[in-house]
A and B are shown apart, each in its own frame.
Chain A
Amino acid sequence: MIASYFTQVSYIAAAALFILSLKWLSHPTTARRGVRVGEVGMLIAIVGTLVQRDIVSYQWILVGFVLGSAIGLPLAVFMPMTHVPQRTALSHAFGALAAALVGTSEYYLHTAELSAFTMTVLNVEVILGFLTFTGSLMAFGKLQELVPGRPIVYKGQNAVNLSLLGVAIAIAVYLVVNPGRSELFPVIAVLSLLFGVLLIIPIGGADMPTVIALLNSYAGLSAAAMGFALDNNLLIVAGALDGSSGFILSVIMCRAMNRSFTNVLFGGFGQVQMVAGTAPQRNYRSATAEEAATILEAASSVIIVPGYGMAVAQAQHKVRELYDSLTRRGVDVKFGIHPVAGRMPGHMNVLLAEADIPYDRLIEMQEINPEFPRADVALVIGANDVTNPAARYDKASPIYGMPILDVDKARTVMVIKRSMSPGFAGIDNELYYLDRTMMLFGDAKHFVGELVKEMTGARVGA
């Protein structure tokens, strides 16, 4: 009795600490305190669980602790920051698998005695758990490039996927009425596992931020369903927090890509239409590092717009050198960050923070956009579609309506790019043909390095 009382109290404390933890995460100055508090909450909840009377043997729990730490710790300590999306996808897979397996064993422990309510939440837990498990593994595979990153689409895909899910749900409903038919349970599991794979196959690499956020939400909801099944309020609270966080992030990502809300809920996103047809040859202006450096030196304010291409080229540390060199000359340098820059929400900020760029220089889209007309130079590094002015007015463009960074309003625009080939979505960028635009051709890391060299050289000479 005292033990179970202690368990309850520890859960209440943990729930409160988790909420505080997220609250403190809201700002960089208090964020690390938030992590500490979350850790304390977790520890209290684990201790509170271990003293429960239901637990009669500790050997397997210990094995799980050791193996789990052995998997989780290296992933967290050695993962390069460019690979954080992969780790995140894996952790969604782990979390969802845990929920699905707990749901499965709960089912087989009670089978026929399950009430309609418990059976319903077990179904939700298991379906969401298994589909998120394979879906996240697929997302991991695409991010890690083990699976082709381009969308794999075929005719009738949505019909196949939806009917698969429909069959799983129909069987689940049947089980709610007849929980004793345990031979049907594995069918639900297999269908959900399959559905998870098929759900992610048609999604391209550029849509990963949305997918990861959505899978995050699913993983959270399956944990909450587990809380319902086990009658455990702490699980419900934690799952609801995770679920709502993933949901908010996927809505933010969707808005940033101008996708609709129903699109998020049904996960039917990512089929970027390839625009065929050759655009007429248009004129653009290219410039050397020397010319670009001269203009940058004379500027009083520069906004750098980084995209995922910068991270692919591993150019962030060179960008930091450029930032230093400009700042030392009294140039005001800011970074304009589009919400979908990178492969997961907020990824670009982490990459730049890793390169030691102060976080108060990283400005989100809504706040930086009014500053472009006042900027002398906008320097685009490895970003493409998020700077395309066609998104504002060209109704025929696939990216029409997508919020963009108003790079074209700066006095001079510089774009570092390998060649004139169109970007990920296959869309030509109007920006490159403006009179005020200078194209700087080359590898991002190399070219930024050249810019820095030019500027340092000039200073030594002066």
Chain B
Amino acid sequence: MPSSLESAIFVFLLATFVGFEVIRRVSPLLHTPLMSLTNAISAISLVGSIVIAGSERSQLSTVLGTIAVICSMANVVGGFVITDRMLKMFKKREPGQ
């Protein structure tokens, strides 16, 4: 357990730094799509929900897990679709205009 705790903190720290560096570079132009994309990405909690919903360990955990799968799946699908929908609208000036 201790080694896994340390490596978990290690991963968290590195990911936070990477996050800061990458996200700092995102143009303010795209801050709304950024938020919906990170939303979709953090809906990866779907994988945790799937394990709870599908491992039949208790009735309570199956129920809670299923609700969690519904919530996360809504974010996965919705997050990616609306991000793309927004990004499609960002166009440069057509030449000659």
Q: Which A residues lie at the B interface, using CB under 8 A?
A: 11, 14-15, 18-19, 21-23, 25-28, 31-32, 34-35, 38-39, 41-42, 45-46, 48-50, 52, 54-58, 60-61, 63-65, 67-69, 71-73, 75-77, 79, 81, 84, 87-88, 91-92, 94-95, 97-99, 101-102, 104-106, 108-109, 115, 117, 212-213, 216, 219-220, 223-224, 226-228, 230-246, 248-249, 252, 327, 337, 339, 344-347, 349-350, 353-354, 356, 358-362, 364
Known: A26-B22, A241-B18. 6 other contacts (CB 8 A): A49-B50, A52-B51, A102-B65, A220-B42, A244-B19, A360-B92
Contact B91 A356 (CB under 8 A): yes
Contact B64 A105 (CB under 8 A): yes
Given the known interface contacts A76-B81, A228-B8, A245-B23, the answer about A108 and B51 at a Cβ–Cβ threshold of 8 Å is: no
Q: How would residues 42 to 55 of chain B score, 1 for a CB under 8 Å from any chain A CB and 0 otherwise? A: 11111111111111
Bound complex: CA A61 to CA B46 (Å): 10
Q: Which B residues lie at the A interface, using CB under 8 A?
A: 1, 4-5, 7-8, 11-12, 15-16, 18-20, 22-58, 60-62, 64-94, 97
Contact A72 B29 (CB under 8 A): no
Instruction: Choose one: B34, B42, B69, B86; the contact of A95 (CB below 8 Å).
Output: B42
Given the known interface contacts A349-B29, A353-B89, A360-B93, the answer about A61 and B53 at a Cβ–Cβ threshold of 8 Å is: yes
Collect the chain B residues with CB atoms within 8 Å of residue A28's CB. Answer: 27, 29-30, 87, 90, 92
Bound complex: CA A421 to CA B11 (Å): 53
Bound complex: CA A102 to CA B50 (Å): 10
Collect the chain B residues with CB atoms within 8 Å of residue A213's CB. Answer: 35
Majority DSSP secondary structure for residues of A touching B: helix
Majority DSSP secondary structure for residues of B touching A: helix
Q: How distant is B11 from chain A, measured CB to nearest CB, in Å?
A: 5
Given the known interface contacts A216-B35, A220-B38, A249-B35, the answer about A35 and B61 at a Cβ–Cβ threshold of 8 Å is: no
Bound complex: CA A30 to CA B9 (Å): 32
Given the known interface contacts A55-B54, A94-B75, the answer about A101 and B38 at a Cβ–Cβ threshold of 8 Å is: no
Collect the chain A residues with CB atoms within 8 Å of residue B8's CB. Answer: 227-228, 231, 233, 236
Q: How distant is A217 from chain B, measured CB to nearest CB, in Å?
A: 10
Q: What are 12 A-to-B residue pairs whose CB atoms are below 8 Å? A: A23-B22, A56-B54, A64-B70, A73-B81, A106-B61, A232-B48, A235-B45, A235-B48, A239-B45, A241-B42, A346-B35, A353-B91
Q: How distant is B84 from chain A, measured CB to nearest CB, in Å?
A: 5
Q: How distant is B48 from chain A, measured CB to nearest CB, in Å?
A: 5
Given the known interface contacts A32-B87, A344-B32, the answer about A235 and B92 at a Cβ–Cβ threshold of 8 Å is: no
Bound complex: CA A73 to CA B82 (Å): 9
Q: How distant is A280 from chain B, measured CB to nearest CB, in Å?
A: 38
Bound complex: CA A69 to CA B11 (Å): 31
Contact A219 B42 (CB under 8 A): yes
Collect the chain A residues with CB atoms within 8 Å of residue B38's CB. Answer: 22, 216, 220, 241-242, 245-246
Collect the chain A residues with CB atoms within 8 Å of residue B67's CB. Answer: 64, 97-98, 101
Contact B27 A98 (CB under 8 A): no
Contact A109 B1 (CB under 8 A): no
